[in-house]
Amino acid sequence: MIDLRRHSDRTRAEFEGLLEGQLDALYAAAMRLTRNARDAEDLVQDAVLRAYRFFDRFERGTHFRAWIFRILTNTFINRYRRSVKERTLVDGPERESVTEQLVSRDAADQAGDPERHFFGRLVSDDVVRAVDALPIDFRMVVILADLQEFSYKEIADILDIPVGTVMSRLFRGRRLLEKSLLDYAAETGHVPTREDGSIDLQSFRSRKSR
Amino acid sequence: MPYEPDSRPAIDCAELGRTAETLVDGELLEREQAEAEAHLACCESCRRTVEALRRTRAAVRQRLREALGPASPHGRAPAALRSRIHLALAHERRPWWRRALSPLPLAAAAACAAGALLVLYTHADGDPLADEAVARHSRDLPLEVTTASVGPESVAGWFKGKVDFATRPPVFRKGDVRLVGGRISHIKDRPAAYMRYQLPHGQLGLFIVEDPERRLGGGGRPLQLGPATVRMMNSHGYNVAVWRDDRIVYSLVSDLDEPALERLVEAALTVPHP
């Protein structure tokens, strides 16, 4: 009986040790998935307890961070089932992602430095608003890639989707996010807009360089 | 053509455009990476595109980190959540046979056998002093003084002038107990000296508080350990030992099981204070 008990203490200490380094990141992700603090706390607690129950299946020496994020997103998906509408939004034709990458190339050509300047002036609330406005499938991938800095392959494993799907969701999600950020920046007057309401990066750039 | 005709890159501008984002993410396969680099080496326009994309990516990531990372409230697990998880794990850990032998039924059985009053033993769970000590200990707030910074001998002295009583923690002789540090805490709205100890598997939290009116520490199961009467309590999966030395009440929160905690406290109390 004493041996059982010791084993259990050691397991908990090891689990809590590994968890400690990830708790803030798990909470940050849960906050953006659920979009409110109470649900985020419940989601993290559920996921952590599930992870602990399955801790014997975690292979020592593999990536704990990816493993527990997989449990977090699974718990989220199971608990908050997504609507049919959101699904169809995501799984559009693959060629769209190609077009969007080309479009983004144009935007990036134009943007460059100015983008860095006015992104820097956005208030955090705008960033939160822009992320939260993304459809859930895009939001998950963008958070995992650009906040948690997981690789395509890790995200594919975490969400149990093909790498190609990770890429198309990520690229489209980023375009949507960048557009919202630009819109917010324009609203707060950091970026000039043309008469038709579109963003005039060219004049912003020339004004900066003056 | 934006690239020099004699360099014959394997991919053209359109192709590079399709892979630029993957390139910036550092996710191209080795062969694709080489092709992209060969193209960029001789195409000024695509170089500018990729650089702009890189800057955009870095700027967005930085904004995400600032707004949602650990420096913002959106990216920091609240203390209450940490404490909830810690408590939940402590419960989760307990094997079935321990739950079956939890202190309450055992105490009740002993009480019936001894013909004592059952009501005395229902205090074994849910004592307000033990509850508060456990809640504060499991919150795991940062220490204000650490052994690493001042040495183990000076931690108790750090409380001098910060609390109105002399802080004389017991010396733990058994169980490989290592002092980590301390902070000012509160128990029942009185200032308390809190010290945290590391065990090979788990932690101890010691609260020292002055109680001249002798209002605290009346609950739990009394045990004679060395010179002191120690009351053993259980709260949220932690075992708590509470004893008194004149005006001072000591509460020791631990994730040890009860016999191990008894041995540890007994060994500590049978040696004189330093």
Each domain of chain B, given as residue ranges in start order, spans 10-68, 118-269
| Domain, as residue range, for A74 | 2-81
* DSSP 8-state symbol, B74: G
Give the CATH number of the domain where residue A43 resides: 1.10.1740.10
Residues A52 and A104 in one domain: no
Separation between Cα atoms, residue B72 and residue A192, nearest integer Å: 29
Contact status, residue A48 vs residue A69, Cβ threshold 8 Å: no
Same domain, A121 and A135: yes
Q: Is the pTM for the entire model greater than 0.90?
A: no
Q: How confident is the model at residue A208 (pLDDT cuts 50, 70, 90)?
A: very low
Q: Which helix (H) or strand (E) holds A138?
A: helix A136-142
**A94 and A126 together in one domain:** yes
Looking at the fold, whether A70 and A171 belong to one and the same domain comes out as: no
Task: Say if the Cβ atoms of B49 and A109 lie within 8 Å.
Answer: yes
* pLDDT digit string (tens) for chain B, length 274 residues: 454 444 455 788 999 999 999 999 999 999 999 999 999 999 999 999 999 999 989 989 999 999 999 888 899 999 999 999 998 888 775 445 444 554 544 544 554 444 433 333 333 445 788 888 888 887 777 788 888 888 888 888 989 888 888 888 988 877 688 999 999 888 887 889 999 998 887 789 999 999 888 888 788 888 888 788 899 888 777 889 999 988 999 999 988 888 888 888 988 888 665 4
- Whether residue A201 sits in one domain with residue A149: yes
Considering the domain architecture, whether residues A13 and A68 belong to the same structural domain is answered as yes
List of residues 6+ apart from B76 with CB closer than 8 A: A24, A27, A28, B70
Q: Are residues A129 and A198 in the same domain?
A: yes
Element (H, E) at A136: helix A136-142
In terms of CATH, what superfamily is B118-269?
Answer: MucB/RseB, C-terminal domain (3.30.200.100)
* A56 in the same domain as A136: no
Do A123 and A170 fall into the same domain?
yes
Q: How many domains does chain A have?
A: 2
Q: Considering only residues 87 to 116 of chain B, which have any Cβ-Cβ distance to chain A shorter than 8 Å?
A: 88-90, 92-95, 97-98
A60 & A102 share domain? no
- Restricting to B residues 145-204, those with a Cβ less than 8 Å away from any Cβ of A are 201-202
Nearest to B55 among A41, A116, A146 (CB): A116
In a 3-state reduction of DSSP, which class is residue B178?
strand
CB contact burial A195-210 (16+ within 10 A = b; e otherwise): eeeebbbeebbeeeee
pLDDT tens track for A52-82? 988 888 887 778 999 999 999 999 988 765 4
Backbone angles phi and psi of A65, in degrees to 5: -60, -50
To which residue do tokens 């300047």 refer? A117
Could you tell me if B67 lies within 8 Å of chain A, comparing CB atoms?
yes
